[in-house]
Amino acid sequence: MDTTEKLIVCGGCNAKLGPGKLENILKDLHQKEKPDVMVDFETTDDAAIIKVNDDTAIIQTIDFFTSMVSDPYLFGKIAATNALSDIWAMGGSVVSALNVVCFPQEMNQDILKKILQGGLEKVNEAGGFLAGGHSIQDQRPKYGLSVNGIVDPKKIWKNDTCQLGDDLILTKPLGVGIITSAYGVDAVGEDAFDNAVDSMTTLNKYAADIIRDYPISACTDVTGFGLLGHLNEFLDDKYTAVLDSTNIPILPSAYECAGDLLTTGGGERNREFLKGKIDFTFDDIGLEEVLFDPQTSGGLLFSIDPKYTNDVLNKLNTLDLRSSCIGHVVEKEDQEIIVK
Protein backbone atom coordinates (compact mmCIF):
# COMPACT_ATOMS: atom_id res chain seq x y z
CA MET A 1 0.00 0.00 0.00
CA ASP A 2 1.17 3.52 -0.82
CA THR A 3 2.35 5.31 2.33
CA THR A 4 -0.03 8.17 1.50
CA GLU A 5 -2.90 5.73 1.98
CA LYS A 6 -1.96 4.51 5.47
CA LEU A 7 -3.38 5.51 8.82
CA ILE A 8 -1.52 6.40 12.01
CA VAL A 9 -1.92 3.56 14.50
CA CYS A 10 -3.12 5.04 17.77
CA GLY A 11 -6.46 3.73 18.93
CA GLY A 12 -9.13 1.09 18.83
CA CYS A 13 -10.84 0.33 22.14
CA ASN A 14 -7.51 1.05 23.83
CA ALA A 15 -8.41 4.73 23.24
CA LYS A 16 -11.49 4.57 25.50
CA LEU A 17 -11.67 6.65 28.64
CA GLY A 18 -10.87 4.56 31.70
CA PRO A 19 -13.85 3.02 33.54
CA GLY A 20 -13.17 5.01 36.71
CA LYS A 21 -13.43 8.35 34.90
CA LEU A 22 -16.69 7.40 33.25
CA GLU A 23 -18.17 6.15 36.51
CA ASN A 24 -17.44 9.44 38.26
CA ILE A 25 -18.99 11.45 35.42
CA LEU A 26 -22.13 9.38 34.88
CA LYS A 27 -23.08 8.99 38.54
CA ASP A 28 -24.05 12.67 38.68
CA LEU A 29 -26.10 12.64 35.46
CA HIS A 30 -29.76 11.84 36.02
CA GLN A 31 -32.81 12.27 33.85
CA LYS A 32 -36.53 11.88 34.24
CA GLU A 33 -37.64 8.27 34.05
CA LYS A 34 -39.73 7.16 31.08
CA PRO A 35 -41.74 3.96 31.33
CA ASP A 36 -40.81 2.80 27.83
CA VAL A 37 -37.03 3.03 28.48
CA MET A 38 -36.05 -0.46 29.60
CA VAL A 39 -32.25 -0.01 29.71
CA ASP A 40 -30.25 3.22 29.87
CA PHE A 41 -26.71 4.34 30.77
CA GLU A 42 -27.28 4.14 34.53
CA THR A 43 -26.84 0.36 34.39
CA THR A 44 -23.56 0.62 32.35
CA ASP A 45 -24.99 -1.86 29.87
CA ASP A 46 -23.92 -2.20 26.23
CA ALA A 47 -26.82 -0.29 24.65
CA ALA A 48 -30.08 1.51 25.38
CA ILE A 49 -33.40 -0.30 24.91
CA ILE A 50 -36.74 1.41 24.33
CA LYS A 51 -39.95 -0.62 24.35
CA VAL A 52 -42.27 -0.11 21.36
CA ASN A 53 -44.92 -2.71 22.22
CA ASP A 54 -45.19 -6.07 23.98
CA ASP A 55 -43.32 -7.83 21.17
CA THR A 56 -40.72 -5.29 20.03
CA ALA A 57 -38.10 -3.03 21.57
CA ILE A 58 -35.52 -0.84 19.86
CA ILE A 59 -31.82 -1.21 20.70
CA GLN A 60 -29.72 1.93 20.20
CA THR A 61 -25.92 2.13 20.44
CA ILE A 62 -22.90 4.01 19.09
CA ASP A 63 -19.17 3.28 18.97
CA PHE A 64 -16.27 4.91 17.13
CA PHE A 65 -12.55 5.36 17.65
CA THR A 66 -9.16 6.11 16.13
CA SER A 67 -7.43 3.36 14.17
CA MET A 68 -5.40 0.49 15.60
CA VAL A 69 -4.23 -0.64 12.12
CA SER A 70 -2.62 1.23 9.24
CA ASP A 71 -4.86 -0.20 6.48
CA PRO A 72 -7.96 2.05 6.10
CA TYR A 73 -10.17 -0.65 4.59
CA LEU A 74 -9.30 -2.99 7.44
CA PHE A 75 -9.91 -0.20 9.96
CA GLY A 76 -13.40 0.29 8.57
CA LYS A 77 -14.19 -3.41 8.91
CA ILE A 78 -12.90 -3.61 12.48
CA ALA A 79 -14.63 -0.44 13.67
CA ALA A 80 -17.95 -1.53 12.17
CA THR A 81 -17.67 -5.05 13.59
CA ASN A 82 -17.01 -3.55 17.00
CA ALA A 83 -19.95 -1.12 16.87
CA LEU A 84 -22.42 -3.73 15.64
CA SER A 85 -21.50 -6.08 18.48
CA ASP A 86 -23.55 -4.25 21.13
CA ILE A 87 -26.77 -5.26 19.39
CA TRP A 88 -25.98 -8.97 19.71
CA ALA A 89 -24.69 -8.51 23.26
CA MET A 90 -28.23 -7.36 24.19
CA GLY A 91 -29.86 -10.35 22.46
CA GLY A 92 -31.07 -8.42 19.41
CA SER A 93 -30.75 -8.25 15.64
CA VAL A 94 -29.24 -5.42 13.57
CA VAL A 95 -31.65 -3.26 11.55
CA SER A 96 -29.79 -0.12 10.42
CA ALA A 97 -26.62 1.89 10.93
CA LEU A 98 -25.29 5.42 10.41
CA ASN A 99 -21.64 6.25 9.74
CA VAL A 100 -19.82 8.43 12.30
CA VAL A 101 -16.78 10.04 10.62
CA CYS A 102 -14.04 12.45 11.66
CA PHE A 103 -11.51 13.12 8.89
CA PRO A 104 -8.81 15.69 8.04
CA GLN A 105 -9.78 18.00 5.17
CA GLU A 106 -6.30 17.77 3.63
CA MET A 107 -5.89 13.97 3.82
CA ASN A 108 -6.20 11.74 0.76
CA GLN A 109 -9.96 11.19 0.27
CA ASP A 110 -9.34 7.67 -1.04
CA ILE A 111 -8.46 6.72 2.54
CA LEU A 112 -11.92 7.72 3.72
CA LYS A 113 -13.53 5.86 0.83
CA LYS A 114 -11.73 2.66 1.86
CA ILE A 115 -12.74 3.09 5.51
CA LEU A 116 -16.38 3.49 4.51
CA GLN A 117 -16.21 0.53 2.14
CA GLY A 118 -14.93 -1.72 4.93
CA GLY A 119 -17.70 -0.55 7.24
CA LEU A 120 -20.41 -1.01 4.61
CA GLU A 121 -19.37 -4.60 3.99
CA LYS A 122 -19.73 -5.47 7.67
CA VAL A 123 -23.12 -3.78 7.99
CA ASN A 124 -24.30 -5.80 5.00
CA GLU A 125 -22.89 -9.01 6.49
CA ALA A 126 -24.75 -8.23 9.73
CA GLY A 127 -28.03 -8.09 7.82
CA GLY A 128 -28.42 -4.35 8.35
CA PHE A 129 -28.88 -1.34 6.11
CA LEU A 130 -26.45 1.61 6.04
CA ALA A 131 -28.81 4.59 5.98
CA GLY A 132 -26.32 7.49 5.90
CA GLY A 133 -24.26 9.21 8.55
CA HIS A 134 -22.50 12.36 9.67
CA SER A 135 -18.95 13.64 9.11
CA ILE A 136 -16.84 16.45 10.53
CA GLN A 137 -13.37 17.77 9.77
CA ASP A 138 -10.86 16.67 12.41
CA GLN A 139 -7.09 16.41 12.77
CA ARG A 140 -7.10 12.61 13.08
CA PRO A 141 -9.35 10.04 11.35
CA LYS A 142 -11.99 8.43 13.53
CA TYR A 143 -14.72 6.06 12.42
CA GLY A 144 -17.57 4.00 13.77
CA LEU A 145 -21.31 3.48 13.64
CA SER A 146 -24.52 4.44 15.35
CA VAL A 147 -26.58 1.25 15.20
CA ASN A 148 -30.25 0.41 15.68
CA GLY A 149 -31.52 -3.07 16.36
CA ILE A 150 -34.65 -4.83 17.57
CA VAL A 151 -35.25 -7.35 20.34
CA ASP A 152 -38.18 -9.08 22.00
CA PRO A 153 -38.65 -7.19 25.32
CA LYS A 154 -39.04 -10.55 27.07
CA LYS A 155 -35.71 -11.85 25.73
CA ILE A 156 -33.28 -9.02 26.50
CA TRP A 157 -29.79 -9.99 27.66
CA LYS A 158 -28.37 -7.62 30.27
CA ASN A 159 -24.83 -7.42 31.60
CA ASP A 160 -25.58 -7.56 35.34
CA THR A 161 -28.03 -10.45 35.74
CA CYS A 162 -25.78 -13.48 36.10
CA GLN A 163 -26.97 -16.12 38.58
CA LEU A 164 -25.25 -18.01 41.38
CA GLY A 165 -23.72 -21.22 40.01
CA ASP A 166 -23.66 -20.07 36.38
CA ASP A 167 -20.79 -21.03 34.09
CA LEU A 168 -18.97 -18.20 32.29
CA ILE A 169 -18.34 -18.65 28.56
CA LEU A 170 -16.14 -16.50 26.30
CA THR A 171 -16.51 -16.68 22.51
CA LYS A 172 -13.26 -15.08 21.28
CA PRO A 173 -9.62 -15.27 22.37
CA LEU A 174 -8.01 -12.40 24.30
CA GLY A 175 -4.95 -10.35 23.41
CA VAL A 176 -5.81 -8.24 20.35
CA GLY A 177 -4.72 -4.99 22.06
CA ILE A 178 -1.35 -6.45 22.97
CA ILE A 179 -0.84 -8.00 19.52
CA THR A 180 -1.70 -4.86 17.54
CA SER A 181 0.54 -2.74 19.78
CA ALA A 182 3.41 -5.23 19.47
CA TYR A 183 2.94 -5.42 15.70
CA GLY A 184 3.28 -1.65 15.52
CA VAL A 185 6.83 -1.91 16.91
CA ASP A 186 7.74 -5.03 14.87
CA ALA A 187 7.69 -7.28 17.95
CA VAL A 188 5.39 -9.89 16.37
CA GLY A 189 5.07 -11.20 12.84
CA GLU A 190 2.33 -11.25 10.23
CA ASP A 191 0.83 -14.53 11.44
CA ALA A 192 0.15 -13.16 14.93
CA PHE A 193 -1.28 -9.97 13.50
CA ASP A 194 -3.48 -11.87 11.04
CA ASN A 195 -4.90 -13.96 13.89
CA ALA A 196 -5.81 -10.75 15.74
CA VAL A 197 -7.41 -9.30 12.61
CA ASP A 198 -9.47 -12.47 12.06
CA SER A 199 -10.81 -12.10 15.59
CA MET A 200 -11.54 -8.37 15.31
CA THR A 201 -13.40 -8.75 11.99
CA THR A 202 -15.52 -11.75 13.03
CA LEU A 203 -19.08 -10.65 13.77
CA ASN A 204 -20.50 -11.76 17.11
CA LYS A 205 -23.70 -12.41 15.15
CA TYR A 206 -22.69 -16.03 14.57
CA ALA A 207 -22.15 -16.80 18.25
CA ALA A 208 -25.32 -14.91 19.20
CA ASP A 209 -27.37 -16.87 16.66
CA ILE A 210 -26.32 -20.06 18.47
CA ILE A 211 -26.71 -18.99 22.08
CA ARG A 212 -30.11 -17.31 21.65
CA ASP A 213 -31.61 -20.82 21.68
CA TYR A 214 -30.51 -21.20 25.31
CA PRO A 215 -31.64 -19.55 28.58
CA ILE A 216 -28.81 -17.00 28.91
CA SER A 217 -28.63 -15.36 32.34
CA ALA A 218 -26.44 -12.40 31.33
CA CYS A 219 -24.35 -11.28 28.38
CA THR A 220 -21.91 -8.55 27.38
CA ASP A 221 -19.15 -8.08 24.81
CA VAL A 222 -15.54 -7.75 25.93
CA THR A 223 -14.07 -4.48 24.65
CA GLY A 224 -12.10 -1.57 26.09
CA PHE A 225 -12.31 -2.47 29.79
CA GLY A 226 -10.77 -5.90 29.14
CA LEU A 227 -12.11 -9.25 30.34
CA LEU A 228 -11.72 -8.36 34.01
CA GLY A 229 -13.29 -4.91 33.68
CA HIS A 230 -16.37 -6.20 31.88
CA LEU A 231 -16.61 -9.16 34.25
CA ASN A 232 -16.57 -6.67 37.14
CA GLU A 233 -19.68 -5.01 35.65
CA PHE A 234 -21.16 -8.46 35.04
CA LEU A 235 -21.01 -9.44 38.73
CA ASP A 236 -22.58 -6.14 39.88
CA ASP A 237 -21.04 -6.47 43.38
CA LYS A 238 -23.43 -9.38 44.08
CA TYR A 239 -21.21 -12.41 43.37
CA THR A 240 -17.62 -13.54 42.86
CA ALA A 241 -16.27 -15.12 39.68
CA VAL A 242 -13.66 -17.89 39.89
CA LEU A 243 -11.68 -18.13 36.65
CA ASP A 244 -9.65 -21.13 35.45
CA SER A 245 -6.62 -19.63 33.69
CA THR A 246 -5.94 -22.85 31.78
CA ASN A 247 -9.27 -22.52 29.96
CA ILE A 248 -9.02 -18.85 28.96
CA PRO A 249 -8.48 -18.59 25.17
CA ILE A 250 -5.52 -16.36 24.28
CA LEU A 251 -4.20 -15.38 20.85
CA PRO A 252 -0.84 -16.89 19.88
CA SER A 253 2.05 -14.56 20.88
CA ALA A 254 -0.13 -12.32 23.09
CA TYR A 255 0.91 -14.04 26.31
CA GLU A 256 4.60 -13.92 25.38
CA CYS A 257 4.39 -10.23 24.45
CA ALA A 258 2.60 -9.46 27.71
CA GLY A 259 5.32 -11.26 29.64
CA ASP A 260 7.87 -9.03 27.91
CA LEU A 261 5.79 -6.00 29.03
CA LEU A 262 4.68 -5.12 25.48
CA THR A 263 1.38 -3.87 26.87
CA THR A 264 -1.05 -0.97 26.46
CA GLY A 265 -1.96 2.19 28.32
CA GLY A 266 -5.58 1.06 28.38
CA GLY A 267 -4.56 -2.13 30.15
CA GLU A 268 -2.83 -0.13 32.85
CA ARG A 269 -5.93 2.02 33.33
CA ASN A 270 -8.01 -1.12 33.70
CA ARG A 271 -5.56 -2.54 36.24
CA GLU A 272 -5.65 0.66 38.29
CA PHE A 273 -9.45 0.78 38.33
CA LEU A 274 -9.73 -2.85 39.50
CA LYS A 275 -7.10 -2.58 42.23
CA GLY A 276 -8.17 -4.62 45.25
CA LYS A 277 -10.89 -6.50 43.36
CA ILE A 278 -8.78 -9.25 41.74
CA ASP A 279 -7.06 -12.16 43.49
CA PHE A 280 -4.38 -13.69 41.27
CA THR A 281 -3.59 -16.89 43.17
CA PHE A 282 -0.22 -17.32 41.42
CA ASP A 283 2.48 -15.05 40.04
CA ASP A 284 2.20 -14.58 36.26
CA ILE A 285 2.51 -11.01 34.99
CA GLY A 286 1.93 -12.09 31.38
CA LEU A 287 -1.45 -13.61 32.18
CA GLU A 288 -2.42 -10.58 34.27
CA GLU A 289 -1.72 -8.22 31.39
CA VAL A 290 -3.75 -10.33 28.96
CA LEU A 291 -6.74 -10.29 31.32
CA PHE A 292 -6.53 -6.49 31.70
CA ASP A 293 -5.87 -5.94 27.97
CA PRO A 294 -8.46 -3.75 26.15
CA GLN A 295 -10.13 -5.75 23.39
CA THR A 296 -11.19 -4.14 20.14
CA SER A 297 -14.21 -6.06 18.80
CA GLY A 298 -13.85 -8.77 21.43
CA GLY A 299 -16.08 -11.76 21.96
CA LEU A 300 -19.29 -12.28 23.88
CA LEU A 301 -19.05 -13.12 27.56
CA PHE A 302 -22.19 -14.84 28.81
CA SER A 303 -23.35 -16.84 31.81
CA ILE A 304 -25.52 -19.94 31.68
CA ASP A 305 -26.73 -22.80 33.85
CA PRO A 306 -23.99 -25.50 33.77
CA LYS A 307 -26.44 -28.13 32.47
CA TYR A 308 -26.34 -26.35 29.10
CA THR A 309 -22.59 -25.68 28.96
CA ASN A 310 -21.36 -28.71 27.03
CA ASP A 311 -24.14 -28.51 24.47
CA VAL A 312 -23.72 -24.79 23.74
CA LEU A 313 -19.92 -25.12 23.57
CA ASN A 314 -20.17 -27.99 21.09
CA LYS A 315 -22.25 -25.79 18.80
CA LEU A 316 -20.13 -22.64 19.31
CA ASN A 317 -16.98 -24.55 18.50
CA THR A 318 -18.22 -25.34 15.01
CA LEU A 319 -17.37 -21.66 14.34
CA ASP A 320 -13.89 -20.50 13.35
CA LEU A 321 -12.98 -18.96 16.73
CA ARG A 322 -12.75 -21.16 19.83
CA SER A 323 -15.18 -20.58 22.68
CA SER A 324 -14.41 -21.79 26.18
CA CYS A 325 -15.92 -22.08 29.64
CA ILE A 326 -13.53 -19.85 31.59
CA GLY A 327 -15.02 -20.06 35.09
CA HIS A 328 -18.13 -19.90 37.21
CA VAL A 329 -20.13 -17.66 39.54
CA VAL A 330 -19.96 -18.30 43.31
CA GLU A 331 -21.10 -16.64 46.52
CA LYS A 332 -19.59 -13.20 47.19
CA GLU A 333 -16.07 -13.32 48.64
CA ASP A 334 -13.58 -10.61 49.65
CA GLN A 335 -12.31 -10.28 46.06
CA GLU A 336 -14.75 -9.95 43.20
CA ILE A 337 -12.70 -12.07 40.79
CA ILE A 338 -10.38 -14.97 41.70
CA VAL A 339 -7.99 -16.26 39.03
CA LYS A 340 -6.72 -19.80 39.58
Instruction: Look at residue 252 and give its three-state secondary structure.
Output: coil
Instruction: Look at residue 279 and give its three-state secondary structure.
Output: strand
Binding residues, as ranges, are 16, 43-46, 63, 86, 133-135, 221
Binding residues for ATP, as ranges, are 16, 43-45, 63, 86, 133-135
Binding residues for Mg(2+), as ranges, are 46, 86, 221
Check: CATH 3.90.650.10 for 167-339? yes
Q: With the CA atoms of 241, 245, 249 and 255 taken in that order, what torsion angle do they form, in degrees rounded to the nearest 10? A: 130
Residues designated catalytic: 13
Question: DSSP secondary-structure letter at 155?
Answer: G
What pLDDT score was predicted for residue 4? 44
Q: Where in the chain is the domain with CATH 3.30.1330.10?
A: 3-155
What's the CATH fold of domain 3-155?
60s Ribosomal Protein L30; Chain: A; (3.30.1330)
What pLDDT score was predicted for residue 137? 95
Tell me the pLDDT of the chain (340 aa) as tens digits. Answer: 443 455 555 555 455 555 556 666 766 777 777 778 767 766 676 788 999 999 999 999 999 999 988 899 999 999 999 999 999 999 999 999 999 999 999 999 999 999 999 999 999 999 999 999 999 999 999 999 999 999 999 999 999 999 999 999 999 999 999 999 899 888 899 999 999 999 999 999 999 999 999 999 999 999 999 999 999 999 989 999 999 999 999 998 999 998 888 778 888 999 999 999 999 999 999 999 999 999 999 999 999 999 999 999 999 999 999 999 999 999 999 999 999 9
Q: Where in the chain is the domain with CATH 3.90.650.10?
A: 167-339
Distances (CA, A) of 238 to 76, 301, 305, 337: 38, 17, 17, 12
